[in-house]
């Protein structure tokens, strides 16, 4: 194949926010699939806060990206060559493609997507990993149901926006926490949350008590830090605190800030549980079907924030997550086809 595969590789381990010198731009041939492999032309890349953790040389749920390796990323694309019986040229798929234009991926690690259900970027958002995170974190770990008051931070983002909407579909109240008046307007008016607290205005603890007079039944935490402490201070009896992420700490150069208010768990007979969406992989298909049904019925809304410019724009686009510059699922368009 005469095409060139442009790639972004990790050049150095960042201290704090990643800088341009942490990345290297390379070009090589896309290659040919070996037995059981599929060559995917990447159409969209998923930009995820977890990428920052993958760049650290630290023990985690996956090995760190090695120096000189193509940056790990989820992507959605089209099969252009296949040596796997389940995939044919033209199929649309999602999987770990990396930040590059072509990816050789074992077919067993790919998910075939149905473009009739929703456009491709939605399969990286509500119908993809962030949607699954919201669904299983809220329903399986948070056990949210009828009448529950659910509070979610990062409420205008990919996971948080879906959490609040599912909470309402399941008969609960949804209170978001997001940065700035425009994001809070979006969360209430476009996503249908009952209320949204602008944490940048301060007074989160007071606002939580006002909006949750009987306490928080489920707190879905995407940000950690001070906001987690404020939520711990407003729990209801037998509350469930779902530890999904802690983006406020991902670029910290000081030791990570832990929860100070944890005795609230004892006082309220509450639980705090961390989870990883990948543990639910065998249930993704069932959850995606249910979520696709909600999308079709207009009960669930999907927002994607689509950046353009191809893989060379990955380094600066990633920073938007940590600066709060995205609304909805942040996706980088590589080649829409």
Ligand X SMILES: NC(=O)c1ccc[n+]([C@@H]2O[C@H](COP(=O)([O-])OP(=O)(O)OC[C@H]3O[C@@H](n4cnc5c(N)ncnc54)[C@H](OP(=O)(O)O)[C@@H]3O)[C@@H](O)[C@H]2O)c1
- CA torsion through residues 97, 99, 101, 103, sign: negative
- Which residues, including other chains, have CB under 8 Å from residue 271's CB and lie 6 or more apart? 239, 240, 241, 265
Smallest distance from the beta carbon of 15 to ligand X, in angstroms? 17
Smallest distance from the beta carbon of 185 to ligand X, in angstroms? 12
| Whether the Cβ atoms of residue 95 and residue 111 lie closer than 8 Å to each other | yes
Q: Which residues does residue 153 pair with via DSSP β-bridges, in sequence order? A: 177
Q: Indicate the residue among 89 and 201 with the shorter CB distance to ligand X.
A: 201
| Whether the Cβ atoms of residue 26 and residue 83 lie closer than 8 Å to each other | no
Question: Could you tell me the CA-to-CA distances from 170 to 29, 150, 173, 297 in Å, in that order?
Answer: 49, 11, 9, 15
Q: Indicate the residue among 87 and 250 with the shorter CB distance to ligand X.
A: 250
Give the separation between CA 194 and CA 97, rounded to whole angstroms.
38
Q: Indicate the residue among 60 and 286 with the shorter CB distance to ligand X.
A: 60
Binding residues vs ligand X (CB under 6 A): 48-50, 130, 133, 154, 156-160, 178-179, 183, 222-223, 244-248, 275-277, 321-322, 324, 326, 330
Q: Indicate the residue among 97 and 248 with the shorter CB distance to ligand X.
A: 248
Smallest distance from the beta carbon of 157 to ligand X, in angstroms? 2
The end-to-end CA distance of the chain, in Å, is 18
Smallest distance from the beta carbon of 135 to ligand X, in angstroms? 11
H helices of 202-336, in order, are 204-211, 225-232, 263-267, 284-296, 314-322
Smallest distance from the beta carbon of 91 to ligand X, in angstroms? 25
Give the separation between CA 295 and CA 300, rounded to whole angstroms.
5
Q: Indicate the residue among 262 and 275 with the shorter CB distance to ligand X.
A: 275
Smallest distance from the beta carbon of 99 to ligand X, in angstroms? 16
- Which residues, including other chains, have CB under 8 Å from residue 177's CB and lie 6 or more apart? 151, 152, 153, 154, 155, 196, 197, 199, 204, 223, 227
Q: Indicate the residue among 100 and 326 with the shorter CB distance to ligand X.
A: 326
């Amino acid at each position: 194949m005469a095409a060139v595969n442009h790639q972004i590789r990790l050049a150095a381990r960042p201290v704090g926010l990643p800088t341009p010198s942490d990345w290297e731009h390379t070009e090589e041939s896309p290659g040919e699939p070996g037995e059981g492999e599929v060559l995917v032309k990447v159409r969209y890349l998923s930009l995820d806060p977890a990428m920052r953790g993958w760049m650290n040389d630290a023990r985690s749920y996956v090995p760190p990206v090695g120096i000189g390796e193509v940056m790990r990323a989820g992507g959605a694309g089209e099969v252009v060559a296949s040596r796997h019986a389940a995939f044919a040229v033209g199929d649309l798929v999602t999987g770990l493609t990396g930040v590059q234009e072509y990816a050789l991926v074992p077919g067993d690690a790919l998910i075939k997507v149905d473009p009739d259900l929703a456009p491709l970027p939605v399969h990286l958002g509500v119908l993809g990993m962030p949607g699954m995170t919201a669904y299983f974190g809220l329903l399986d770990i948070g056990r949210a149901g009828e009448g529950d008051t659910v509070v979610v931070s990062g409420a205008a983002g990919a996971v948080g926006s879906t959490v609040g909407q599912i909470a309402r579909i399941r008969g609960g109240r949804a209170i978001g926490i997001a940065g700035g008046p425009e994001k809070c307007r979006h969360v209430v008016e476009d996503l249908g949350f009952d209320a949204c607290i602008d944490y940048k205005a301060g007074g989160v603890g007071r606002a939580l008590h006002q909006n949750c007079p009987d306490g928080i039944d489920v707190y879905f935490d995407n940000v950690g830090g001070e906001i987690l402490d404020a939520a711990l201070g407003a729990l209801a009896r037998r509350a469930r605190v779902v530890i999904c992420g802690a983006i406020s700490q991902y670029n910290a150069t000081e030791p990570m800030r832990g929860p100070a208010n944890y005795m609230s768990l004892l006082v309220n007979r509450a639980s705090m549980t961390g989870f990883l969406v990948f543990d639910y992989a065998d249930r993704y298909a069932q959850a995606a079907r249910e979520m696709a049904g909600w999308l079709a019925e207009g009960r669930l809304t999907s927002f994607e924030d689509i950046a353009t410019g191809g893989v060379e724009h990955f380094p600066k686009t990633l920073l938007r997550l940590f600066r709060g510059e995205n609304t909805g699922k942040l996706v980088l368009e590589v080649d829409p086809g």
